[in-house]
Amino acid sequence: MNTICVIPARYHSTRLPGKPLALIAGKPMICRVYERAAQAAETSMTLVATDDQRIVDAVRQAGGKALLTRADHPTGTDRLAEVAQAHPNMELIINVQGDEPLIDPKLIDRLAALFADDEKLQMATVMTKLEGEDERTNPNNVKVVVDKNGYALYFSRSLLPYPRNALAVPVYKHIGIYAYRREFLLNYAKMEPTPLEKTESLEQLRALENGYRIRVIETDSQFVGVDTPEDLAMVNKIYEEMEVKS
């Protein structure tokens, strides 16, 4: 399949201003994300989609591809849809967040393989096990529960499932990496926001509320999304350790 990996990036961040250009081991974070995502074997192209010329310039100076998109997109899905509209030859769009500098390229390949094996699949994403009570109850960690076939039942900022009895299943954190068939993504972006989506402030609930299924795969890859200066310091330390090992 013709597959494009898109990395949406906004310059403005409440907790970490200019986040995409924050340095990680001497390079802007967005370039670190791009480098790792571009290592995926099942993609035809990797592209940063941003509303800021500074980010475009940083990516291109590092040898990557970037597209300056409209600045008035209300959601990341709308920005992704603009890219999909501009690339009609792409069958599959994989969305990697611009603040995930530890993204595993093999995970991108796993997502792409799902669609090659199932022509009816429209949307897929990723989860990983949550350890520790603080992590499980943190509303910034979005939880997901799935059925026996690996399809999402619900996403929530609340603890799911609630352990009324002894916890018989793991608690899973949703990782915001998505894959969409192009036509589904274009239609999805046109759907009106739904009640549960607005209540939880979780855009993926729009798909579930409209009756679509979301396949969820599990990974044990390490993720440190960068939202705060503390996160940035942690990722810099991990990169330093990686460089020492290499």
pTM, to two decimals: 0.93
DSSP conformational letter for 150: S
Residue 36 and residue 50: Cα distance in Å, rounded?
Answer: 18
pLDDT tens for residues 204-221? 999 999 999 999 999 998
pLDDT for the residue numbered 246: 67
Query: In percent, how much of the chain has pLDDT > 90?
Result: 79
pLDDT tens for residues 23-44? 999 999 999 999 999 999 999 9
Residue 231 and residue 237: Cα distance in Å, rounded?
Answer: 10
Pick the closest to residue 29 from 1, 54, 4, 5 (CA basis).
54
* Per-residue pLDDT band at 74 (split at 50, 70, 90): confident
Measure CA 244 to chain center: 28
List the domains of the chain with CATH numbers.
3-245 (3.90.550.10)
